[in-house]
Each structure stands twice: as C-alpha cells, then as structure tokens.
Amino acid sequence: MTLTSGTLTSAVGGHLAAVTACLVEDAYRNWNSAAAEVDRALDGWAGASADVSPLAEAAYRAAVEQEERAARQLERMLDVAERVLPVEQQ
C-alpha cells in the first residue's frame, strides 16, 4: 500500500475520531459518577444527626462542586467532538 496524503489524512482522522470518542465517553462516565455521588451525599446529609450535619452538608457541597466540574469537562469534550467527529447528513 502506498501512503498518500489522502490515506494519511484519512488514517489520522480515523484515529482522532476514535480518541475523541473515548475522551467523550470518559468525561461522561466521570460526570455520571459525580452525579451519583451528589445523590449519595444528599442522602447522607438528609439522614445525618445534628452533630454531623455540618460535615454532611460540606460533603454534599463538595460533591456538587465536583459534579459541576465534571459537567463542564463533558461539555468541553462534546464541543470538541462536534468539531472533530463526522456528522451524518440525513
């Protein structure tokens, strides 16, 4: 097989698409995990006794912040994917 600029571009584009898809999937999994942690932390805060309620609230707020960071990262990855991945025309 002779490597031409067209086949090289196609090969690089295919690898770039695969890497981008993996990054989006990882970002989604991170966000999904962070969202589940928010639920767990909220349940923990709701069921906390008065003496540990401030700590449970702090854990919940930290979980929310982490989920928000994960959501922003997922949004960035989706923006990248929109520019990199081919979109099928209907």
pLDDT tens digits, 39-77: 999 999 999 999 999 999 999 999 999 999 999 999 999
pLDDT on residue 85: 76
pTM: 0.78
Q: Is 19 exposed, middle or buried (0-12, 13-18, 19+ CB in 10 A)?
A: exposed
Query: By percentage, how much of the chain surpasses pLDDT 70?
Result: 80
- Distance in angstroms (rounded) separating the CA atoms of residues 52 and 13: 53
Query: Residue 17's CB: how many other CB atoms inside 10 A?
Result: 14
The CA-CA-CA angle for residues 77, 26, 75, to 5°, reads 25
